[in-house]
Amino acid sequence: MHSYVLQHQARHNMDRIAARIVLLGLWVLVAGHWGQAAPVHIDLNDRRLLAPTAGEYHGDTRTYIVHMAKSSTHSLLASLETPLSRYSQLLQTLKQDMTLVANGEPATLPIHVYSSVCQGFSARLTSQEAAALRKMTGVLAVYPDTIRYPHTTRTPEFLGLSSSNGLWPNGHFGDDVIVGVLDTGVWPERDSFSDAGLGPVPARWKGICETGKDFNASHCNNKLIGARYFVAGYEAALINATGKPLNESLESRSPRDTEGHGSHTASTAAGSEVPGASLFGLANGTARGMAPKARIAVYKVCWAGGCYDSDILSAFDQAVADGVDIISLSVGGPAREYLEDAIAIGAFGAMEKGVFVSCSAGNAGPGLQTVENFAPWIMTVAASTIDRDFPANVILGDGQILQGQSLYTGKGLSSNVTQMITGAAATTGNVTNSALCLPGSLKATLVKGKIVVCKRGPNRVAKGAVVLAAGGVGMILYNGGADGGVLADSHFLPATHVDTEAGVSLLAYMNSTATPVGNIEFLGTRYNVKAPIVAGFSSRGPNIVTPQVAKPDITAPGVNILAAWTGAVGPSSLESDTRRVDFNIISGTSMSCPHISGLGALLKAAHPDWSPAAIKSAMMTTATIRDNGQVDVITDQFGGAEATPLQYGSGHVRPEMALDPGLVYDLGFQDYVNFLCTSNYTARDIELFTSTHNETVTCPRSDVQVEDLNYPSFSAIFQKPPSILNITMNMTRTVTNVGNANATYMAQIAQPADTVITVYPDILSFSSVNEKKSFTLEVTAVNVPTVSNGSLVKFAFLVWTDGVRSVQSPITIIVI
């Protein structure tokens, strides 16, 4: 589970020579002239950035997801009643055609049947069978199942939510809104899932509480109103790979969460109030979800071996049929084309039924073009810090103090002069492994009684177990040059994590004396620190498949988040960790996504008539690019410089402002269809997304461009000109008045050097609620140079203001 495991990719040096000017009351990032800017490596045609189609499978048989046309015209099938019987018959016919199955043998059953968000099924097939199926009438697409992974509370106060006024009371704390959480399941005994004070289950709810190991209907209540599990795709892959079914002593064949991630995300989105929550006393206070009265329905799609698309699509299908209002999915994997992305397809169907879908952007930062879950109909959530941290400083023998972070709460080291050694110096042979403190790499005779200095790498807490096993008494983790940010972890022994710069000082000190000594000072919970800062791990834009749609969309708290935890494993998730906690503190875009899901539930309750796109627009256009000091632009944990829309999207969420955004950029089913049309997908491709739509789907006139998708942010992509030139693009938008009936909005533009941005018209007057007005944004890149071997990126902002409200959109300008 890469909840907070960081995948480091090639790094690209953003334009760091940004200067700030105040323009129209906005702080703006202003680079120098195009010619002076350091080029960024962005290759929008690099298909290698997309995941390869075929997964790792043993043998020739694998699970495929099969999409069927709206009206299955296969004559044989038309008469059969249920989709299951139709698809079973289709598979039987296929196998007979290929003379693999004799007449009369029992039909091969589909693994899952899909009917709410799309038409189709998944099944075990050979590649020949898949090829034959692709040629059959009514079959739109056949692609292999793929694996994904979960992306791994003072938050309400940090976000400015108040019990007495604003979004909480206006949104009735989310009462009667149903949040579907697709994750690792739930540990229902946690107080976060208590239904005290909640009314009956909403009458429209069609979901159930599935029975299985350690889970039955009595575990559901008026808070946790549904719980299901989707295991068939995972188990088929497991049997294929290992020959063995699910090991029930390791994970429950039921909605029960034996991992922790799902209980954490569900309680972050909509957990009930729990006073006195903490992790070993850290972050103590009242824990509650963003929408503390919303109802939770849990769909377990992630298992010990990961989360399979065939199961995820089935969960989308069921959740929509059950009647959820919001879907929260903190899961992802390498980017895929929309046509092979079951999350994108499932989310499209959910959107069509009015469900707001919020997904994690991924933990693949700090490299550019790492963002996942970027379909325009998904809210893509980046992660940033909150104003609370857990300082744990290193005091070196020479008096230097290095700042670190830790969730360790046990007894500290007894002496300020505890001896220290680097993992590399205590090697059992392989220095590379020893520097990382990997299992078996440390010589006990050298480590005994000392603090061991280890280089960061996967499984940070496990390194502490290695040190402890070798007789060490403490550990200091340091970042290599490519690592971004430090993370507070619940270590087994006195241990802390320091950044790259501190790591250099640490190693220099270690090298400067024959007997290095030091201590680690644990300072507990600290509040009111500078925040948000974009997490180093948070995945970044641009969008690989559709760079004209800026991604991520928004940033929300995703670092050191306290929320409910499973009783099956300890806070470090390691098998050797015998500690058990009700609440745990973890980090990832997995944690930021459910914040936005819960806020979506509040907005839905406050504005029942808003579409999913209106909810998204309200959060995006009211987000802020400044930190809690209200002066400085949000910075990037990686490198420390100002962050940009490539990291934070439209900015950091401000829920109270989203309640009353003034204008929204609305989008509906046909707008997204138009987007697919202008992206040059064929009618057959588009039917993958629209196979459950009951009306004829048509493409608009051909002169509509992708950039005209009515998105709440802008992304202008220019090809480099053949000679020094001004290059121009127009983008159109339509805003809907959701504020006062009589309102006049004026456009303000904050633009960097070498760009000219004009709005036509620059005043929009409204005389009724829900009135729509269109405008054109003309973006000119001035004097774009011809010689540069990279891409050039600049950022601007458009703000519509009526004097009270600000409707802000980032404009990303990329010259390829």
Ligand X SMILES: *[C@@H]1O[C@H](CO)[C@@H](O)[C@H](O)[C@H]1NC(C)=O
Residues that bind ligand X (CB under 6 A): 39, 216, 218, 244, 247, 249-250, 284-285, 395, 415-416, 430, 432-433, 507-508, 511, 519, 679-680, 694-695, 706, 726, 728, 730, 741-742, 756, 760, 767, 776, 778, 782, 789-790
Query: Do residues 758 and 747 touch, judged by C-beta distance below 8 A?
Result: no
Decide whether 683 or 760 has the Cβ nearer to ligand X: 760
Extract the runs of DSSP E, i.e. beta strands, from 101-145.
112-114, 120-125, 139-144
Question: 499 an active-site residue?
Answer: no
Give the three-state DSSP class for 741.
coil
Residue 68 near residue 140, CB atoms below 8 Å: yes
CB-nearer residue toward ligand X: 5 or 729: 729
For 111, counting Cβ atoms within 10 Å of its Cβ (0-12 exposed, 13-18 middle, 19+ buried), the class is buried
384 belongs to the catalytic site:
no
Check whether the bond before 532 is cis (ω within 30° of 0).
Answer: yes
- Phi (first) and psi of residue 215, to 5 degrees: -155, 130
Minimum distance of ligand X from residue 700's CB (angstroms): 13
Look at the alpha carbons of 304, 307, 308, 312 in this order and tell me if their dihedral is positive or negative. Answer: positive
What residue has token string 């299908």? Answer: 317
Nearer to ligand X, 96 or 679 (CB): 679
- The DSSP-derived string for 318-341 is HHHHHT-SEEEE-EE-S---GGG-
Torsion sign across C-alpha atoms 94, 96, 99, 104: positive
Q: Select from 353, 365, 759 the least CA-distant residue to 541.
A: 365
Q: Cβ of residue 762: shortest distance to ligand X, in angstroms?
A: 11
Per the listing, tokens 């089913």 go with 669
Beta-carbon contacts of residue 131 (< 8 Å; ≥ 6 apart):
none
Residue 116 sits at the vertex; the CA angle it makes with 201 and 236, to the nearest 5 degrees, is: 100
Catalytic entry in 261, 264, 497, 607 = 261
Q: Which distant-in-sequence residues (6+ apart) come within 8 Å of 475 by Cβ?
A: 437, 451, 452, 453, 454, 463, 464, 467, 491, 493, 494, 495, 496
Nearer to ligand X, 81 or 703 (CB): 703
Quick one: 171 or 662, whose CB is closer to ligand X? 662
Question: Which CB atom, from 98 or from 741, has the smaller least distance to ligand X?
Answer: 741
Q: 109 vs 395, which CB is nearer to ligand X?
A: 395
Whichever of 27 and 745 has its CB closer to ligand X, that residue is: 745
User: Which CB, 103 or 696, lies closer to ligand X?
Assistant: 696
Question: Among residues 590, 592, 650, 713, which one is catalytic?
Answer: 590
How many whole angstroms separate alpha carbon 662 and alpha carbon 773? 13
Supply 181's token pair: 């959480």
Instruction: List helix spans (H) across 659-803.
Output: 669-678, 683-690
CB-CB contact of 295 with 96 (8 Å): no
CA angle 48, 54, 59 (to 5 degrees): 145
Least distance CB 206 / ligand X (angstroms) = 16
Least distance between ligand X and beta carbon 216 (Å): 4
Q: Mark whether 41 is an active-site residue.
A: no
Closest distance of CB 368 from ligand X, Å: 13
* Enclosing H/E stretch for 561: strand 561-564
The catalytic residue among 15, 175, 176, 183 is 183
From residue 39, give the alpha-carbon distance in Å to each of 375, 482, 657, 719, 773.
Answer: 27, 19, 36, 14, 38
* Cβ atoms of residues 153 and 385 within 8 Å: no
Q: Which residue spans within 24-111 are E strands per DSSP?
A: 26-30, 62-68
Per-residue three-class SS string for 688-706: HHHCCCCCCCCCCCCCCCH
> What is the closest distance, in whole angstroms, from the C-beta atom of residue 789 to ligand X in the complex?
4
- In the complex, minimum distance from the CB of residue 609 to ligand X, in angstroms, rounded to a whole number: 16
**Residues labelled as active-site residues:** 183, 261, 590
